[in-house]
Structure 1
Amino acid sequence: MADIMKVAIFVLVCSICKINAYMPKFHRGRPKGGMLGTPNVKSNHALPPDMWVTQRLDHFNDADTTTWQQRYFVNDTFYKKGGPVFVMIGGEGTADPIWMVEGAWIDYAQKFNAFCLQLEHRYYGKSHPTIDMGTGNLIFLNSEQALADLAYFITYAKQKFGLEKNKLITFGGSYPGSLSAWFRLKYPHLVDGAVASSAPIRAVLNFYEYLGVVTNSLATTGPNCNKNVAAATEDLGSKLQTDTGRNTLKTMFSMCDDLDPSSPDYQLDVANLISNIAGNFEGVVQYNKDNRAFEGAIATNITVDTLCGVMNDESVGAPLDRYAKVNKMILDAYSEKCLDFKYRAMIEDLQKTAWNSSAGEGGRQWTYQTCTEFAFFQSSDLSNKTQPFGSFFPLNFSVQQCIDIFGSKFNRDLIQAGINRTNTNYGGENLKVTKVAFPNGSIDPWHALGIIDNSVAGSTAIFIDGTAHCANMYPSLDSDPAELTKARQVITGLISSWISS
């Protein structure tokens, strides 16, 4: 009986691991853990404990008095009387307390004697407003509620810690960067300046420009990298046409399952497979050389130069062999034995509603926000002549996911209506806001939806050549390019002007 129980437990554990693995490593521009990752440092500082504030579930319905507990962190070790309040805005992942002791904003806090706070975003990390993540409960997950959370929290914290008269600056990277800018727009009486790093300001249904920037970033190593990716994609497409070719691909790319053309989900499986393979490149480009913990020591060293070095190495074999080698490199970095690509399994994973499920890490929540507010669908709809990853995962592939995960009403019309509302609410590319810094990196695909020139009067765009997503937020390195160092100096100067005016 004991042996039977051991086998049963082993099978159960393996099944759980298999199910969890169906969550893509890189989904809609978001790696596991969120788009702002943990700084790749070992801090010697003690991390602050969890603290909690009581929030309203619905800030816009006075008849609904439901409340919940939202997590936040405090670091007052740099604070001197009269210093500013710095607030790090949480986003589409767990709020990591290491940000309370590391990162560029901590350097600014030491310089300006700031009182530091970090607020975790509703529905992420430990901040659970509802009993689960059922679709009906997710109606309270949106940027407007998150901004209202922040407004109440700032008012609460200023009173709690005796900071009512102190200047306040918000910080955020990626989606929280958008929140930082939008908070300054919507609640200017509560914030005196904002840093909005790598912030997508314009919501858009078809974010095909994403692959355009990835293509340009690969081209920084020379013309052959994109040429070889395109050749690999063409060969891959040819092999999909025959049983022999599909079996060859299964072996080459260490697929967990067979490609079954008789399956009703076959085209979706193919789209998911090639989207995941392209995601190997997207993820590395998005976080190229930015001192981010890429999820394991090996992957920390994988850069655009690494990928293109493999793709240009003729000793490895044909371009498709090199494409497969890149895939193995990423699988090894994540300690994964095989490549999961089954569309239905991914959907079933993202349909899970329990907070402790694999979807509760943030994948379900972020997918919901893209389906209802932002889209940001990174399709392959750019011409094959202008991006090398083929046309296998078009816009409809992302739209179908919204329908399959959340229900038939989450169709293209509903998604587009949400996008229109977001851009109307915040201004989109016509955003009008003052005292906001918009740092963006030229390598980062998200800069295509950001503010990269000084078209927003009263605010400052900081376009950093050669850097990637949120690079200016991470701890500085001796190897940082001069433009990145200069960008941090510009931000320092802006903060100084905001808190002294």
Structure 2
Amino acid sequence: MHSPPVLAFLLIASSWNAAYGSSHFFQGKYRGSLKGLPASNHSTSYGAPGEQYFPQKLDHFNEANVTTWPQRFWVQDKFHKPKGPVFVMIGGEGPENPIWLTQGQWIGWAEKFGAICFILEHRFYGKSHPTPDLSVESLQFLSSEQALADLANFITNQTAARNLKDSKVVTFGGSYPGSLSAWFRSKYPHIVHAAISSSAPMVAVEDFADYAVVVKNSLNRSSPQCVQNVQAANDALQAALKNPDSAKKLQDLFQLCTPVSNENSKKDLENLVESLAGNFMEVVQYNRDNRAFEGAQATNITIDTLCDIMTHDSTDTALQRYARVNSLLLSATSQECLNFTYESFLEPLANTEWTDETSAGGRQWTYQTCTEFGFFQTSDSNNQPFAPMFPLKFFVDQCRDLFGLSEEVLKNGITETNTYYGGRDLKVDHIVFVNGDIDPWHALGITKRHGHNAPAVLIKGAAHCSDMYPSRDEDIPEVKLARVIIEFFLRKWIGWFAEA
């Protein structure tokens, strides 16, 4: 998968955690949202403009349906100069955060190039509610294709209303919005002149087993012994789950909310193993990024932090060290215990009301993965360090249990997505594709040049959407260079009115 990038991933899941005690990281996203809400009131805290609402069409592909709904957006025009470009930050699978109208790389470029900036929240996320609820009947209007049409309608309307029709439009997005940014340039080239696509999965795939492979490779950079001990811990965990006496001891060791017993289903145990693996997946994906400016928690926990725990000289077993990592993440996210049951996992995702905290994005994003993308981060590869206990079936069954969708629907949706958008073979120009090679999502991204006017930047040592955050002294040189490259192409494509 914020503003900013599915990138600005804050732990709005803190309320989720308090209520449900479940792992807050799932399928490469934070449960409840891909990115989060600001730590306090939007506008007063950050000096960001207030929210506005645009009357959006419910169904862009049915002319007989004239229903509209209020889509949330923000606009920042303090940098705008005559003939300056229009910058649009594309929203993703969570509430948008207007702090991105005051900070982030794109704001620096907006000041240099005299741009007017918009953030458009994605339908069905945050406060952009197209339907009365989140029932399956309502969710039929949630798709990337509808979201792109929302963008087209919004940009066309706003540029006309603000006398900006002669200005060049540039879209920005990270993770899933990064995909949307590239796809928008591909499908609506008459509306958008250029696009920045950061950490974007461009290929839909049912079994994203390579995610865990990249996690292993990223951990290995810190310490090969770290990977070996993670593997040893998972071997021990798998063995313990098969032994009733050993399984009972896991409750105290891993701070589980309930004991592991014969009463637990296979899915309970799969969910437990996947949740513990998620501790490592989360830290690897966001390693050393700058989410802290939004108020994100635990950003000081890095790959090195985990590997120090897994390799530090002590008499602890690998399983005990693995448990210490879990305790660290529980504490950092204000959880007293880990609720590993499958039922507890499904409960918030089954909620169909807008009033619940969990309606911020978890159910919606899961629906999109079940109907369009897959992206299921399984343990199906033999070249990954976790116990092979969260296979594809574990995720496919969730589509059935939550939405009544079969695997055939999922497979057909993935085929349609790749056929419609073109996967890595899309024919485009005026796009910069940016990825970090530590980030597991780069395995589904475009990391090689697509021609002179569609460059790809693969940042060595960088994590998810790291190029999009505000600059800081401790940013690695490779990230700093990537931003220079992006600015070079923006300057090339935007034109003469950019500052010299």
- In the other structure, the counterpart of 2:401 is 404
Q: 1:96 to 1:17 in 2, by over 3 A?
A: closer
**What TM-score, normalized by structure 2, do the two folds share?**
0.92
- How do 1:347-426 residues align onto structure 2 when only pairs under 5 Å count? 347-383=346-382, 386-407=383-404, 410-426=405-421
8 Å CA contact retained: 2:199, 2:435: yes
Q: Does 1:162 align with 2:163?
A: yes
Which residue type is aligned with residue 442 of structure 2?
H
- In the other structure, the counterpart of 1:274 is 273
Aligned length: 480
Residues 127-173 of structure 1, C-alpha deviation per residue, up to 9 Å, x if partnerless? 00000000110000000000000000001111122211111100000
Q: Does 1:344 align with 2:343?
A: yes
Which residue type is aligned with residue 131 of structure 2?
T
Residues 18-40 of structure 1, C-alpha deviation per residue, up to 9 Å, x if partnerless? 88325541121111464456799
Q: 1:424 to 1:21 in 2, by over 3 A?
A: same
Aligned counterparts of 2:118 and 2:354: Cα–Cα separation in 1? 25
8 Å CA contact retained: 1:56, 1:65: yes
Deviation at 1:456, TM superposition (A): 5.3
- How do 1:218-367 residues align onto structure 2 when only pairs under 5 Å count? 218-263=219-264, 266-293=265-292, 299-315=298-314, 317-367=316-366
Q: For structure 1, which segment, 34-43 or 446-455, has the greater mean C-alpha deviation from structure 2 after superposition?
A: 34-43
- SS of match in other structure, 2:71: strand
- In the other structure, the counterpart of 2:8 is none
Q: 1:294 to 1:47 in 2, by over 3 A?
A: closer
Q: For structure 1, which segment, 183-192 or 353-362, has the greater mean C-alpha deviation from structure 2 after superposition?
A: 353-362
Aligned counterparts of 1:164 and 1:348: Cα–Cα separation in 2? 47
Aligned counterparts of 1:198 and 1:23: Cα–Cα separation in 2? 27
- SS of match in other structure, 2:72: strand
Aligned counterparts of 1:297 and 1:90: Cα–Cα separation in 2? 18
- SS of match in other structure, 1:88: strand
Q: 1:255 to 1:448 in 2, by over 3 A?
A: same
Q: For structure 1, which segment, 243-252 or 19-28, has the greater mean C-alpha deviation from structure 2 after superposition?
A: 19-28
Match of 2:486 among 467, 491, 494: 491
Aligned counterparts of 1:296 and 1:103: Cα–Cα separation in 2? 14
- SS of match in other structure, 2:291: coil
Q: Does 1:448 align with 2:449?
A: no
Aligned counterparts of 1:477 and 1:206: Cα–Cα separation in 2? 36
8 Å CA contact retained: 2:270, 2:389: yes
Aligned counterparts of 1:297 and 1:46: Cα–Cα separation in 2? 19
Q: 1:354 to 1:33 in 2, by over 3 A?
A: closer
Q: 1:25 to 1:456 in 2, by over 3 A?
A: farther
8 Å CA contact retained: 2:459, 2:479: yes
Q: 1:236 to 1:294 in 2, by over 3 A?
A: farther
- How do 1:152-191 residues align onto structure 2 when only pairs under 5 Å count? 152-191=153-192
- SS of match in other structure, 1:144: helix
Residues 99-123 of structure 1, C-alpha deviation per residue, up to 9 Å, x if partnerless? 1111000011111111000000000
Aligned counterparts of 2:81 and 2:348: Cα–Cα separation in 1? 48
Deviation at 1:202, TM superposition (A): 0.3
Aligned counterparts of 1:356 and 1:247: Cα–Cα separation in 2? 38
- SS of match in other structure, 1:480: coil
Deviation at 1:242, TM superposition (A): 2.1
Which residue type is aligned with residue 86 of structure 1?
F
8 Å CA contact retained: 2:16, 2:358: no
- In the other structure, the counterpart of 2:206 is 205
- SS of match in other structure, 1:315: coil
- In the other structure, the counterpart of 1:51 is 52
Residues 370-389 of structure 1, C-alpha deviation per residue, up to 9 Å, x if partnerless? 00000000000011xx2110
8 Å CA contact retained: 1:36, 1:174: no
Q: Does 1:481 align with 2:464?
A: no
Please list every run of 5 or more consecutive structure 2 residues that lacks an aligned counterpart in the other structure.
Answer: 1-14
Which residue type is aligned with residue 374 of structure 1?
F
Which residue type is aligned with residue 392 of structure 1?
M
- SS of match in other structure, 2:222: coil
Deviation at 1:293, TM superposition (A): 3.3
8 Å CA contact retained: 2:18, 2:334: no
Residues 433-464 of structure 1, C-alpha deviation per residue, up to 9 Å, x if partnerless? 11100010011000000001114563010100
8 Å CA contact retained: 1:203, 1:423: yes
Q: 1:40 to 1:322 in 2, by over 3 A?
A: farther
Deviation at 1:358, TM superposition (A): 3.7
Q: 1:49 to 1:33 in 2, by over 3 A?
A: farther
Deviation at 1:298, TM superposition (A): 6.1
Q: 1:287 to 1:294 in 2, by over 3 A?
A: farther
Deviation at 1:297, TM superposition (A): 7.0
- SS of match in other structure, 1:78: coil
Deviation at 1:250, TM superposition (A): 0.8
Which residue type is aligned with residue 340 of structure 2?
F
Moved beyond 3 Å, runs of 4+:
16-20, 32-45, 293-298, 455-458
Aligned counterparts of 2:107 and 2:484: Cα–Cα separation in 1? 14
Q: 1:268 to 1:136 in 2, by over 3 A?
A: same
Aligned counterparts of 1:187 and 1:368: Cα–Cα separation in 2? 25
Please list every run of 5 or more consecutive structure 1 residues that lacks an aligned counterpart in the other structure.
Answer: 1-15
Q: 1:295 to 1:56 in 2, by over 3 A?
A: closer
Which residue type is aligned with residue 288 of structure 1?
N
Q: Give identity over the alignment, percent.
A: 50
Q: 1:249 to 1:108 in 2, by over 3 A?
A: same
Q: 1:401 to 1:54 in 2, by over 3 A?
A: same
Let me know the Cα RMSD of the aligned residues: 2.0
8 Å CA contact retained: 1:39, 1:103: no
- In the other structure, the counterpart of 2:20 is 21
